[in-house]
Amino acid sequence: MPQISEAELVVMRVIWNQSPATANQVVQALRDQTHWKPKTIHTLLSRLRRKGALAHTRLGREYLFRPLVAAADYAHDASRSFLGRVFGGEIAPFLACFLEREELTAREIQELRRLLDERLP
């Protein structure tokens, strides 16, 4: 799994949502979210391509970008990495820490119960 920086992740989210997308489409999507210049976004796209997170094909005078890494795969890998670094790879201490400090709605609690119940043998 490629190491994706926070800034690169912002670009990846656009690609995951709009794939395939041209560089100009990515610039337009990020225009209101960031204060980045188009050159910065082009640089991030190039980095992501070099890292193997994106592929591109030429479309006239532009490049059309598509992800090589699925959003779900990235989220899983990042989650496992976080759990490993902060909680020794254990999910229960993470959940305990999170639940002690966060207010959950009844709906969120029901959803967590449903997800856990689905995992029971």
Query: How high does pLDDT run on average in the chain?
Result: 95
Does one domain contain both 62 and 78?
no
Residues 86, 51 share a domain: no
Distance CA 81, CA 88 (A): 10
Distances in Å between the alpha carbon of 43 and those of 5, 10, 39, 46, 77?
Answer: 13, 13, 6, 5, 24
Q: What is the pLDDT of residues 5-58, one digit of tens each?
A: 999 999 999 999 999 999 999 999 999 899 999 999 999 999 999 999 999 999
Angle at the Cα of 71 from the Cα atoms of 113 and 23, rounded to 5 degrees: 150
**Are residues 45 and 88 both part of a single domain?**
no
The CATH number linked to 36 is 1.10.10.10
Distance CA 65, CA 67 (A): 7
Report the predicted TM-score, pTM, of the whole model to 2 decimal places.
0.84
The residue segments making up the domain with residue 110 are 71-119
pLDDT (average), residues 65-73: 97
53: nearest Cα among 44, 62, 61: 44
